[in-house]
Structure 1
Amino acid sequence: MDNESQRSELKRLIAKGKEQGYLTYREVNDHLPEDVIDAEQMENVISMINDMGIEVYEEAPDEETLLLDGEAGGTPVAQEAEEAAEEALAVVEADLGRTSDPVRMYMREMGTVELLTREGEIEIARRIEDGLHQVLRAVSTCPTTIALLLDAAAKVERGEMRLDEVVDAFIDPNASEAEALSEAEESGLEAEAEAEVEAEEEDDDDAIEVDKGPQLEEAIIRFAAIREGYEALIASHAATGLHGEAYQSLRRELADRFLEMKLNVRQIDAMAEALRDLTEEVRQSERGLMEICIERARFPRKEFVRSYPGHESDIHWIDQQIAAGRPYSAKLGELRDELVAVMKTLANIEKRAGLAIAEIKEASRLMSIGEAKARRAKKEMVEANLRLVISIAKKYTNRGLQFLDLIQEGNIGLMKAVDKFEYRRGYKFSTYATWWIRQAITRSIADQARTIRIPVHMIETINKLNRISRQMLQEMGREPTPEELAERMEMPEDKIRKVLKI
């Protein structure tokens, strides 16, 4: 029974109850959807009907009973019955929606998400882009993460990595947003058709991708410019230190160059992880510093929080606190060597990172905000396109994978499509995602089909080997060696070793 039929049946049931003032259990049961078989669901529906002033009886009551209960003579107008039926229907449908079946729950939740328009896709894609830009700007201020990118670039130049593992695209800093979108609109239909053809023709081809990536020659030029800026940054750091104006200016210029590239998501993740590791080192050292000062020296927490920031690796700050003549100063003096060791660790982190401790923390904070923003937007894009995965997965049933497994693999492809999607190219996300979903599903089916079939005689040999191995384990109190198994089974030792590897 489809949804519309269910709605009609429920409306008739409620209208009938309103008209005659009661319903019987048989009438309720006959009009409810076939899905309602659970006793608790039935009780909830009947309770809802009772709340509307309609009694439910085992059998139709006589006129005296109706008069005593004050329920006779009810003939409400059709409009009133219709409104009551609609109100009840919402409650019934909500109750019917409750299920412990994961597939039903998945389908129901998926159906509550509205489909995106082209404008909606662009709005979410821009939010993803903004979040990733914020992450990129945060990691690009750290020389350590810049060095990671240059290492990857060197591998690309040597042919040890593919370019699309590092960079997805280059962005023209001189082109305005309006120009980019105008070009996208002009090439939109052509790009969309091309993507659809590739999606159809390359359904089972694992080696080809829709996005061919930027040209290697341009990439080498861009990487060379970043490498030149990085070398100038290192030289400036050696000459003027972290706080020199020239050093800070070079850092900002290098960060701007980063934003002219759309880095691969995995490359961004690797750089973000490096910054996270630095931040964790800082936190561990500062936890040790606080434990010494606050727990052992009884340095007041509020005073520590007020005076410490800005002096993270400044040993003079320790000496100032010791010379201050406060109640905790003497104890700080006793613990000075431990405090100096922690400060030196923090200074070493600053030297390796090319950033002050406060700058590392600020970069980490901005990166976390950007990651959260991009993650929320990606989640919205994925949820809005789950129906596309279902429609594609249906075409691949009975090919060796369960339907839920097909959905899972398709969802993995959908998430990859979200990472790779470039709204400026003009085509819709669903067109782009179709290829990725199909590729993920067909790859999974192909992997499933590669299962090795072990010959029957080999299975018998394995079973015999396992049986004799258990017997010898009981006899000797230890696992038998391949030599001992070969002697007992009267088989060559090399064959025993091959069987053990299976």
Structure 2
Amino acid sequence: MEQNPQSQLKLLVTRGKEQGYLTYAEVNDHLPEDIVDSDQIEDIIQMINDMGIQVMEEAPDADDLMLAENTADEDAAEAAAQVLSSVESEIGRTTDPVRMYMREMGTVELLTREGEIDIAKRIEDGINQVQCSVAEYPEAITYLLEQYDRVEAEEARLSDLITGFVDPNAEEDLAPTATHVGSELSQEDLDDDEDEDEEDGDDDSADDDNSIDPELAREKFAELRAQYVVTRDTIKAKGRSHAAAQEEILKLSEVFKQFRLVPKQFDYLVNSMRVMMDRVRTQERLIMKLCVEQCKMPKKNFITLFTGNETSDTWFNAAIAMNKPWSEKLHDVSEEVHRALQKLQQIEEETGLTIEQVKDINRRMSIGEAKARRAKKEMVEANLRLVISIAKKYPNRGLQFLDLIH
């Protein structure tokens, strides 16, 4: 890419201002190549939101967009007024962290039941995106199948691998992941929910006692193995970017999404992808350090030549052939650069993916993590807001306000 990261982000923001919104897919497409970390992505999404540009799952209806456009200027003016007033009265404002926290929490609205379900679905969507990304990483499926083989050989327990399966036909009936957190339900509704939770808890205990149906597990893992073989063979025969291969990858993701992995196993798969990405970053940073810092090759030239050719030395030979003052110096680091390129080639052989594909999968995984984390943060804030709103109803009852909250 010829554009530097700042230019790409500027284009992203410009697009958002013109449309009045951005979708997560657009954020993914316009993110700089080197941004794959979930924390970085979350910061960028937060920055975009702070500018009055909503980041959404899909493009909104025209009516919703008109409503958003009508309120955008008012929101911006209000935000500017708040910033101005905070600067003008900074000396007079309290520095008590508790009061500052209470004031901040006061801006968080109590959730309605619909809002709670919406957040729960967004958490689920984010987790699903992570799991779909993991499904595209061949080593993840291989690992899962190997672990199940250990279960079949009675070397491991099935309950240490999965907690159950998701019914693909029940996807529309997703329940919130946390019951009535920060909601505005009546006490009767809350009591009813608590009774249902207790009954569910009894059912869960029974499930734990009876374990997971081994026949169902055998059937699901056989389906996963069969689809994995078809996907792998199609990719080998036609290439990963072929339409037929993409269709099989999608089918594999749909099968894999049905598995509810034990958190420890899910984290292991996600972390293994992160480790692979770290290995890629290490070699790419080394190559850039050798060329840009040591040989004084302009960074723009390096990015233009290197991106998309990470495991080939054609870009390096082209850089030498440019006959620039720094071109001759590249001969001095040739051996080290080629050693790093070989390590990148080794990663491609291990994963069955190109470096570009490894980055793309990790970026989509990170966006899924950022989506789930943002939704969880909203749920936690709403929960705290509910606690504070309840505590405010019981002042001067023998306990300090903070003790009531605790």
User: 2:118 maps to which residue?
Assistant: 123
Aligned to 2:145: 150
- In structure 2, list runs of 5 or more residues that go unmatched: 1-92, 176-190, 390-401
Distance 1:367 1:284 in 2: 20
8 Å CA contact 1:168, 1:213 repeated in 2: no
CA distance in 1, matches of 2:404, 2:264: 25
Amino acid at match of 2:197: A
Look up the equivalent residue of 1:161 and give its one-letter code.
R
Q: Residues 261-298 of structure 1: CA distance to partner in whole angstroms, max 9, x if unpaired?
A: 44444433222211111111111100111112212333
Q: Tell me the CA shift for residue 216 of structure 1.
A: 3.6
Hey, what does 1:349 align to over in structure 2?
Answer: 347
In structure 2, the residue matched to 1:196 is: 198
Match of 1:258 in 2: 256
Q: CA deviation at 1:314?
A: 1.0
Q: Cα distance, 1:168 vs. partner? A: 4.5
Structure 1 residues 315 and 243: alpha-carbon distance in aligned structure 2, compared to 1, 3 A threshold: farther
Residues 1:336 and 2:334 are matched in the alignment: yes
Instruction: Go from structure 1 to structure 2 and tell me whether the alpha carbon gap of 1:110 and 1:318 turns closer, same or farther (over 3 Å shift).
Output: closer
Whether the aligned pair in 1 keeps the contact of 2:134 and 2:270 (CA below 8 Å) is: yes
1:296 alignment partner in structure 2:
294
- 2:159 aligns with one of 159, 163, 174: 163
Matching residue of 2:360: 362
What is the count of residue pairs matched by the alignment? 292
* Cα distance in 1 between the residues matched to 2:250 and 2:331: 41
What secondary structure sits across from 1:385 in the alignment? Answer: helix
Offset, 1:119: 1.1
Identity %: 41
Q: How does 1:389-404 map to 2 (within 5 A)?
A: none
Give the structure 2 partner of residue 277 of structure 1: 275
Distance, in Å, in 1 between the alignment partners of 2:149 and 2:193 is: 32
Amino acid at match of 1:195: D
- The separation in 2 between residues aligned to 1:114 and 1:143, in whole angstroms, is 43
TM-score (norm 2): 0.58
- Cα gap change, 1:406/1:268 in structure 2, threshold over 3 Å: closer, same or farther? farther
Shift of 1:210: 8.9
Deviations 1:89-118 (A, max 9, x none): xxxxxxxx969697x988887677544332
Q: Residues 401-441 of structure 1, C-alpha deviation per residue, up to 9 Å, x if partnerless?
A: xxx99998xxxxxxxxxxxxxxxxxxxxxxxxxxxxxxxxx
In structure 1, the partner of 2:306 is 308
**Where do residues 65-144 of structure 1 align in structure 2 (5 Å cutoff)?**
113-144=108-139
Q: Which secondary structure state, in structure 2, belongs to the residue aligned with residue 151 of structure 1?
A: helix
CA shift, 1:248, in A, is 4.7
> Hey, what does 2:222 align to over in structure 1?
224
- Aligned partners of 1:240 and 1:337: how far apart in 2? 34
SS in 1 for 2:165: strand
Work out whether residues 287 and 337 of structure 2, in 8 Å CA contact, stay in contact via their aligned partners in 1.
yes
Distance (Å, rounded) in 1 between the aligned partners of 2:162 and 2:404 = 29
Q: Do the aligned residues in 1 keep the contact of 2:121 with 2:174 (CA within 8 Å)?
A: no
Structure 1, unaligned runs of 5 or more:
1-96, 182-188, 392-403, 409-502
1:387: Cα distance to partner? Answer: 7.6
Alignment CA distance shift 1:215-1:99 (3 Å): farther
1:359 match: secondary structure = helix
Question: Quick check: 2:311–2:341 contact (8 Å CA) kept in 1?
Answer: yes
1:305–1:322 CA distance, 2 compared to 1 (3 A): same
Change (3 A) 1:316 1:105: closer
CA distance in 1, matches of 2:338, 2:405: 57
* Structure possessing the higher radius of gyration over alpha carbons: 1
- Conserved? CA contact 2:123–2:371, under 8 Å: yes
Q: Trace 1:476-487 onto structure 2 (pairs within 5 A).
A: none
Comparing both chains, which one has the higher relative contact order based on Cα–Cα distances under 8 Å and sequence gaps of 6 or more?
A: 2
**Residues 101, 317 of structure 1: CA spacing in aligned structure 2 closer, same or farther, 3 A cutoff?**
closer
| Residue 359 of structure 1: how far off its partner (Å) | 1.2
| Kept in 2: contact 1:195–1:210 (CA 8 A) | no
The alignment yields a C-alpha RMSD, in angstroms, of 4.5
Q: State the 1:170 CA deviation.
A: 1.3
Whole-Å Cα distance in 1 between the matches of residues 116 and 311 of structure 2?
Answer: 47
Structure 1 residue 162 displacement after superposition: 4.2
Cα displacement (A) at 1:315: 2.4
Whether the aligned pair in 2 keeps the contact of 1:242 and 1:354 (CA below 8 Å) is no
Structure-to-structure mapping, 1:203-222, within 5 angstroms: 215-222=213-220
User: How much has 1:308 moved relative to structure 2?
Assistant: 1.4
Cα gap change, 1:109/1:341 in structure 2, threshold over 3 Å: closer, same or farther?
same
Read off the aligned partner of 2:219 and give its amino acid letter.
I
CA contact (8 A) 2:162 2:260 kept: no
Listed one character per residue, the Cα deviations across residues 15-36 of structure 1 (whole Å, up to 9, x for unaligned) are xxxxxxxxxxxxxxxxxxxxxx
SS in 2 for 1:116: coil
Q: Structure 1 pair 313/195, CA: closer, same or farther in 2 (3 Å)?
A: same
Cα 1:211/1:291, change in 2 over 3 Å: farther
Q: Structure 1 residues 373, 339: CA separation in 2 closer, same or farther (over 3 Å shift)?
A: same
Q: Deviations over 1:177-236 (max 9, x none)?
A: 2x778xxxxxxx99864423466x89xxx9778998864432322222222233344455
Q: Partner letter of residue 170 of structure 1?
A: V
